[in-house]
């Protein structure tokens, strides 16, 4: 019983901390389902403040999970975010690990 509990605790500890954060998980989930999204859409959907969202996006970009492109749509500046292949793999691995943990724990 203790062995099983220890295994479960280790499983949680192994989760990618970059993904396993509520705000970043929301961002990655949205980008996983879309081709790309701009900063304003992510802010609108996640409910995060500009500063908070900027900070999370920077961390994800540093890790190579997302690609941020500053571009224009006509004359309107646009900050477009897109999940990278590394980000997709990290997100899918996280889902798989979390599902295993939930299946074993409950």
Partner 1 sequence: MKDNLLETKQRIFQYWYIDGLPELALGGIFLILGLYFYIQAVIPNESLLGQILNVGFVVIIIGSVYLTRFLIGYFKNRLTYPRTGYVAYQRKPGQYRWIRVILAMGIAALVAGLIIAFPGYEKLMPAITGIILSFVFLIFGYRGSILRFYLLSLISLVLGGVFSFLGTGGNIGLGYYYFLIGLICSLSGGCILRSYLKKYPDKPEDDHVG
Q: Which residues bind partner 1 (CB under 8 A)?
A: 29-30, 33-45, 50, 53-54, 57, 68, 70, 73-74, 76-80, 95, 98-99, 102
Smallest distance, partner 1 to C-beta of residue 76, A: 6
Smallest distance, partner 1 to C-beta of residue 64, A: 18
Between strands 76-83 and 66-73, the pairing is antiparallel
Smallest distance, partner 1 to C-beta of residue 2, A: 27
In the complex with partner 1, which residue's Cβ is closer, 9 or 34? Answer: 34
SS3 33: helix
DSSP classification of residue 27: H
User: How would DSSP label each residue in 56-71?
Assistant: HHHHHHHTTSEEEEEE
């Amino acid at each position: 019983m203790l062995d099983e509990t220890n295994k479960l605790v280790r499983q949680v500890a192994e989760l990618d901390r970059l993904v396993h954060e509520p705000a970043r998980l929301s961002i990655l989930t949205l980008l996983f389902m879309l081709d790309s999204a701009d900063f304003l859409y992510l802010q609108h959907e996640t409910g995060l403040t500009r500063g908070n969202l900027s900070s999370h996006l920077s961390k994800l970009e540093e890790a190579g999970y997302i690609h941020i492109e500053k571009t224009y749509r006509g004359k309107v500046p646009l900050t477009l975010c897109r999940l990278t292949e590394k980000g997709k793999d990290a997100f899918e691995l996280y889902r798989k690990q979390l599902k295993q943990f939930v299946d074993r724990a409950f």
